[in-house]
Amino acid sequence: MKDFQYQALPMRVTFGTGSLKSLPDEVRRLGLRRVLVLSTSFQEDLAREVSDQLGELSAGVHPEAQMHVPVESAHRARDVAKAAGADGYVAVGGGSTTGLGKAIALEFGAPIIAVPTTYAGSEMTPIWGLTAEGEKKTGRDPKVLPTSVIYDPELTLTLPVGMSVTSGFNAIAHAVEALYAPDGSPIISLMAEEGTRALVKALPKIAENPADIEARSDALYGAWLCGATLGATTMSLHHKLCHTLGGTFNLPHAETHTVVLPYALAYNSAHAPEAIAALQRATGAQEPASYLRQLSLDLGAPASLRELGLTDIDVETVVEQATRNPYANPRAVTGDGIRALLTAALNGETV
């Protein structure tokens, strides 16, 4: 057994079909009087239902969450909250909505209750992201960690199959990198293995029948575990590449994670034997990278970065950015190695 440190993150989780009903009690339990409900414009109807359910505890709905959290959107939400006399936030939605809640918490320290509706896992991490003048910055701060999270699988029934699959792969990517993170620990590895196991079993069932509430529950359970592993560890090559691809080339978040993951895992495989052993147990496959690639294709996910809008000429920019600052990764990050990885992902080559 290697030496390790483990720091538990202080948050409360309520999990279960129909658990959204517990939200008013949760608001009271935290001593909040009026909470502003955040959502994207697409999920405004759901946010209004949540607000109605909160009754006098609701300070209203602010349906202006956007991808990549523009700093102006955080300021606007803060102004709306002040005018409405809100003392906390309920973020109902995926990573973009949770991200807006975090951006507000970063600046103004108000507590967030997260009600996730995708598998991205942001609600389990102290990681924030903000975009100012076209540049996305990220960082870690314990004050952006949601105080309480309500996982209600019913809210994921509306997530289209395509997004369910790519969002699920986004979660698996968190677990994969946690398994070889320099600051991993046995408990995080258990969560990563179990989270991956739950998701690879649930995603094909969801693709077959998106209304399968058991499979939806299993996937959300997996997403919880995978998100928690991201919150506890340092990110490596895979997340670094996806961050660059999203930030510099505006490639879609979950789809990019889905395409890159098998290639990043294949790059690291020979240098991360314990991670591979855990993933073999979780997937039942001898070659987890090839297995994940085939699973994503079988479930209809995009097959290449070219399909997502990357071009040959962009590869060098990503290579340059990925190799500029050294960071934790089981295998040395070399220009030639990353160029080969990206070229394979660009063209959707066999893993």
Reduce the DSSP state of residue 33 to 3 states and report it: coil
Q: Is 104 in the site for ligand NAD (CB under 6 A)?
A: no
Residue 129 CB, shortest distance to ligand NAD, in Å, is 5
Dihedral over Cα of 108, 112, 114, 119: its sign = positive
Tokens of 296: 């994503």
Number of residues engaging ligand NAD in binding (CB under 6 A): 27
Which of 276, 301 has the CB closer to ligand NAD? 301
What contacts 332, CB < 8 A, 6 or more positions away? none
The interface mask with ligand NAD, positions 282-311, x = CB under 6 A, is ------------------------------
Single-letter code of the amino acid located at 335: G
Pairing outcome for strands 112-116 and 127-132 = unpaired
Smallest distance from ligand NAD to CB 92, Å: 9
Query: How do beta strands 127-132 and 135-140 pair?
Result: antiparallel
Report in angstroms how near the CB of residue 223 gets to ligand NAD at its nearest. Answer: 10
Please report how close the Cβ of residue 33 comes to ligand NAD at its closest, in angstroms: 27
Which residues from 146-165 bind ligand NAD, rule CB under 6 A? Answer: 155-156, 158-159
- Which residue in 93, 146, 153, 247 binds ligand NAD (CB under 6 A)? 93
**Residue 127 engages ligand NAD in binding (rule: CB under 6 A):** yes
Q: For ligand NAD, which is the closer residue by CB, 173 or 344?
A: 173
Q: 138-144: which pairs have CB atoms within 8 A and are 24 or more residues apart?
A: 138/243, 141/106, 142/9, 143/105, 143/106, 143/109, 144/102, 144/103, 144/105, 144/106, 144/112
* 279 contacts ligand NAD (rule: CB under 6 A): no
- 222 near ligand NAD, judged by CB under 6 A: no
Select from 120, 219, 264, 342 the one that contacts ligand NAD (CB under 6 A). Answer: 120
Least distance between ligand NAD and beta carbon 43 (Å): 4
Q: Does 42 bind ligand NAD (CB under 6 A)?
A: yes
Please, which contacts does 243-248 make with residues 24 or more away whose CB atoms are closer than 8 Å?
Answer: 243/136, 243/138, 244/317, 244/318, 244/321, 244/322, 245/305, 245/310, 245/318, 246/68, 246/136, 247/135, 247/136, 248/314, 248/317, 248/318, 248/321
Of positions 63, 88, 121, 262, contacts ligand NAD by CB under 6 A:
121
The one among 19, 51, 58, 97 contacting ligand NAD by CB under 6 A = 97
Using CB atoms, what's the residue nearest to ligand NAD?
95
- The Cα–Cα gap between 190 and 329 comes to 20
Question: Which of 232, 238, 62 is closest to 140 using CA atoms?
Answer: 232
> Is residue 113 near ligand NAD by the rule CB under 6 A?
no
- Contact residues toward ligand NAD (CB under 6 A) are 40, 42-43, 67-68, 93-97, 99, 117-118, 120-122, 125, 127, 129, 155-156, 158-159, 167, 230, 253-254
